């Protein structure tokens, strides 16, 4: 026999961002409770709204199956004395097992004879297990921030106001958070006036709440919101701007959604688009509306109230939007009374980090690093000039009214671009100010000026924070240094910028020398950190772990070249003849592994035709490799190495490397070291995992 089980935790409104994580925890803890007690069950469904978490387990087994458990005790000679009586050890084992001497049997094992018993354990009733376990499930749920109330010991995101716990049609008699479980839930606070909702049985839960204007099924609620938004302006050419993240947030803010159309004063359309969209979506959780891609003064919001009152609710929301846009208009107008460049000196009043000085000092370092980057990449004077100007202006928007008042902090960079354009700065400079926050995961790549400023800014943050001793550990990375380093490498790879990244690290630490006590250790740590991130970049680009290991010994300064090399090797390793090449290289490496002699090859000691052929072939191969590497043609290098494999095989077939003549043996080792060095200029094939080893 089986029954459905329902648990609902009724709460005061919980922040939308807490709900998904808490629901996963509830599902995990209840599932574990059931599985730990070996209870069979059917489908498990989760239901959430801002005021409830619920889980419904279908066809849950009514009681555990009886079990016969075999328990092994001490060795026979320890459990019994010479007279055949149970010792204290034997008696203690029986007491612990709940057995008697009559239950004992002897078990033969590879380690000898042991006493054992079989204990019959009757299954427990499922309601008893649930009564005992469910309070612990709720107590184990955690949130980014929790609270206590009414002096209860329980911590939860918001006060728990009711508990519904049903075992089939019966109430599961248990108490959680000082609240006795009942079958009474609550409907939508604003539509049904919080009237009680009796849940007759778990299977009736969703429909009972629906009648009380609360859609417990989150997926259904999300679909309804999406449909309503699509239909809201169906009789016009207006369209709600798609925003999946906002749709998810709004889904967790309402129980009975109603999409409502509203509007603000068209005069506010003079504001930059993202200021308006940010006001609507970030601050108010409203949806922007466009016509043929152009932002309009219309917007849409999702009401949780009585649909009959939508006009009144709309008027209130329009007033709030008007007030926020009025503030934004004031900031926008005030900031444009002076050019963006005039804000730069004020950055001296903003601390970047206590040891590293002001944002103005950081800006000066960014300028110098940007100049060095431009020089190493041999850019045109115009591009270099745009990059340097953007570097000087890139942080100026931080002290404008728009950002300084903390209303639109997420628009940093974008507002810099808008103010730069309003100030008459060249378009590439304005765009670079916005693009210098690019992290590599956006669809469009930045232009060269923005890319250079982005690399300089992120690298200075990495070096500075490491130098200040705040190194990321485990999951703790408060300054997002991994993200910054990943962004650097993604930009380099995306734009194929060939320059010495580690030389730029050295330059930045030189610029930071007057602010840091000792940079030697920090330089080493940053280098190791960037090497880890380079390995991450290769992995992100689909390179196998052993291919990554095979190329990491090569100079890592040129990241695009490293990627080309790894991709060529990744592709080449799929060829059948490549396995033989890798095995041949490993044979060479293994033979000379213990030899530390660096003596050059003595051509006069090359006695066998096969070793003379290997020596001559190596000279030709070296010239070819030089030519291919200069052109970064790694496919051609690997083709040459593959053809050279026959010469290596012939050498091993015809020549005894470990011969008795010490001079010949040492000379042959030197010849093999030369061959190995040629291969290592491309990759360390010994690190590859190949079939046939």
How does pLDDT run across 271-289, given as a tens digit for each residue?
A: 999 999 999 999 899 999 9
Phi, psi of 156 (to 5 degrees): -150, 165
Strand partners, 45: 56
Average the pLDDT over 364-385 and give the result.
95
Domain containing 200 — which CATH number?
A: 3.30.70.260
Residues 202, 133 share a domain: yes
pLDDT at 69 over 80: no
Q: Is residue 102 part of a domain?
A: yes
Can you give the pLDDT at residue 1?
78
Q: Are 104 and 115 in contact (CB under 8 A)?
A: yes
Whole domain around residue 113: which residue ranges? Answer: 67-121
Burial (CB count within 10 angstroms: exposed 0-12, middle 13-18, buried 19+), residue 144: exposed
Percent of residues in the chain assigned helix, strand, coil, to nearest 5: 55, 15, 30
CA 408: distance to chain centroid? 25
Interatomic CA distance for residues 317 and 244, integer angstroms: 22
Q: Is residue 679 part of a domain?
A: yes
Per-residue pLDDT band at 14 (split at 50, 70, 90): very high
Can you give the pLDDT at residue 79?
86
How does pLDDT run across 293-344, given as a tens digit for each residue?
A: 999 999 999 999 888 899 999 999 999 999 999 999 999 999 999 999 999 9
pLDDT mean across residues, the chain: 91
Residues 673, 628 share a domain: yes
Interatomic CA distance for residues 488 and 533, integer angstroms: 10
Predicted TM-score (pTM) of this structure: 0.81
Residue written as token pair 């574990």: 32
Residues 380, 317 share a domain: no
Residues 479, 396 share a domain: yes
Average the pLDDT over 560-579 and give the result.
88
Residue 142 structure tokens: 């955690």
Q: How many domains does the chain have?
A: 5
Q: How many CB atoms lie under 10 A from the CB of residue 324? A: 20
Residues 134, 23 share a domain: yes
How does pLDDT run across 623-678, given as a tens digit for each residue?
A: 988 898 888 898 898 988 888 888 888 988 888 888 888 888 888 888 888 888 88
Domain final residue, candidates 335, 359, 378:
335
Per-residue pLDDT band at 573 (split at 50, 70, 90): confident
Least reliable range by pLDDT among 91-95, 129-133, 223-227, 528-532: 91-95
pLDDT at 262 over 70: yes
Q: Is residue 431 part of a domain?
A: yes
Can you give the pLDDT at residue 369?
97
> Hey, is 49 helix, strand or coil?
strand
Residues 163, 280 share a domain: no
Residues 608, 497 share a domain: no
Average the pLDDT over 510-538 and give the result.
91
pLDDT at 693 over 60: no
Burial (CB count within 10 angstroms: exposed 0-12, middle 13-18, buried 19+), residue 635: middle
Region label for 632, one of left (φ > 0), alpha (ψ between -120 and 50) or beta (otherwise) = left
pLDDT at 362 over 60: yes
Q: Are 380 and 353 in contact (CB under 8 A)?
A: no
Interatomic CA distance for residues 469 and 555, integer angstroms: 27
Q: Is residue 554 part of a domain?
A: no
Residues 385, 367 share a domain: yes
Interatomic CA distance for residues 399 and 41, integer angstroms: 59
How does pLDDT run across 410-447, given as a tens digit for each residue?
A: 999 999 999 999 999 999 999 999 999 998 776 677 89
How does pLDDT run across 443-467, given as a tens digit for each residue?
A: 677 899 999 999 999 999 999 999 9
Residues 154, 82 share a domain: no
Q: How far is CA 73 from CA 78, 86, 106, 166, 266, in A?
A: 10, 12, 10, 42, 84
Closest C-alpha to 279, from 330, 216, 227: 330
As a whole-number percent, the residues of the chain with pLDDT over 90 amount to 61
Strand partners, 117: 71
> Hey, is 273 helix, strand or coil?
helix
Can you give the pLDDT at residue 649?
85
Q: How many CB atoms lie under 10 A from the CB of residue 283? A: 14
pLDDT at 595 over 80: no
Q: Are 550 and 684 in contact (CB under 8 A)?
A: yes
Q: Report the b/e string of 3-18 with b at 16+ CB within 10 A.
A: bbbbbbbbbeebebeb
């Amino acid at each position: 026999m089986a029954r459905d089980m329902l648990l609902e935790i009724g709460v005061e409104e919980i922040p939308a961002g807490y709900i998904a994580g808490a629901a996963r925890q509830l599902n995990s803890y209840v599932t574990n409770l059931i599985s730990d007690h070996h209870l069979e069950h059917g489908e498990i469904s989760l239901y959430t709204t801002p005021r409830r978490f619920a889980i419904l387990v279908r066809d849950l087994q009514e009681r555990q199956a009886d079990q016969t458990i075999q328990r092994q005790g001490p060795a026979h000679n320890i459990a019994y004395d010479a007279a055949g009586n149970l010792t204290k050890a034997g008696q203690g084992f029986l007491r612990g097992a709940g057995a008697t001497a009559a239950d004992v049997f002897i078990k033969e094992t590879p380690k000898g004879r042991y006493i054992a018993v079989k204990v019959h354990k009757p299954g427990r009733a499922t309601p008893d297990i649930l009564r005992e376990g469910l309070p612990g499930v709720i107590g184990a749920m955690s949130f980014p921030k929790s609270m206590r109330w009414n002096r209860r010991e329980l911590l939860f995101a918001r006060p728990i106001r009711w508990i519904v716990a049903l075992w089939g049609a019966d109430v599961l008699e248990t108490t959680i958070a000082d609240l006795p479980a009942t079958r009474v839930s609550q409907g939508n606070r604003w539509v049904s006036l919080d009237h009680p909702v009796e849940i007759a049985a778990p299977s009736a839960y969703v429909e009972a709440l629906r009648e009380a204007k609360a859609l417990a099924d989150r997926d259904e609620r999300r679909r309804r919101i999406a449909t309503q938004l699509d239909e809201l302006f169906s009789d016009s050419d207006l369209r709600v701007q798609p925003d999946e993240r906002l749709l998810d947030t709004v889904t967790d803010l309402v129980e009975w959604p109603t999409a409502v159309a509203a509007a603000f004063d068209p005069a506010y359309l003079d504001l930059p688009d993202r200021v308006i969209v940010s006001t609507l979506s970030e601050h108010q959780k409203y949806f922007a509306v466009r016509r043929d891609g152009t932002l309009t003064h219309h917007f849409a919001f999702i009401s949780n109230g009585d649909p009959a009152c939508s006009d009144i609710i709309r008027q209130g929301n329009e007033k709030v939007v008007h007030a926020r846009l009025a503030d934004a208009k004031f900031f926008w107008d005030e900031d444009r009374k002076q050019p963006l460049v005039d804000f730069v000196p004020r950055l001296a009043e903003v601390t970047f980090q206590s040891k590293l000085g002001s944002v103005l000092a950081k800006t000066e370092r960014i300028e110098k690093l940007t100049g060095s980057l431009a020089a190493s990449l041999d850019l045109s004077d115009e591009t270099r000039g745009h990059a340097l100007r953007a570097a000087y202006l890139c942080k100026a928007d931080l002290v404008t009214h728009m950002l300084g008042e903390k209303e639109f902090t997420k628009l940093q960079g974008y507002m810099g671009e808008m103010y730069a354009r309003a100030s008459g700065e060249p378009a590439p400079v304005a765009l670079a100010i916005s693009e210098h926050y690019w992290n590599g995961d956006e669809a469009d790549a930045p232009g060269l000026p923005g890319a250079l400023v982005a690399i300089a800014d992120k690298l200075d943050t990495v070096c500075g924070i490491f130098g200040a001793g705040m190194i990321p550990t485990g999951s703790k990375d408060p300054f997002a240094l991994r993200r910054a380093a990943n962004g650097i490498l993604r930009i380099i790879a995306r734009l194929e910028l060939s320059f010495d990244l580690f030389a730029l690290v050295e330059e930045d630490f030189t610029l930071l020398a007057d602010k840091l006590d000792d940079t030697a250790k920090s330089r080493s740590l940053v280098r190791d950190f960037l090497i880890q991130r380079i390995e991450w970049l290769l992995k992100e680009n689909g390179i196998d772990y052993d291919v990554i290991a095979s190329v990491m010994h090569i100079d890592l300064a040129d990241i695009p070249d490293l990627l080309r090399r790894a991709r060529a090797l990744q592709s080449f390793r799929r060829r059948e003849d490549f396995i033989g090449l890798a095995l041949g290289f490993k044979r060479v490496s293994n033979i000379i592994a213990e030899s530390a002699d660096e003596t050059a090859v003595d051509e006069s000691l090359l006695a066998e035709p096969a070793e003379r052929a290997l020596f001559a072939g190596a000279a030709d191969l070296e010239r070819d490799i030089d030519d291919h590497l200069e052109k970064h043609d790694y496919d051609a290098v690997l083709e040459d190495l593959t053809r050279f494999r026959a010469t290596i095989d012939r050498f091993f077939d015809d020549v005894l490397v470990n011969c008795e003549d010490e001079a010949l043996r040492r000379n042959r080792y030197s010849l093999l070291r030369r061959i190995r060095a040629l291969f290592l200029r491309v990759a360390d094939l010994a690190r590859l995992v190949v079939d046939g080893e």
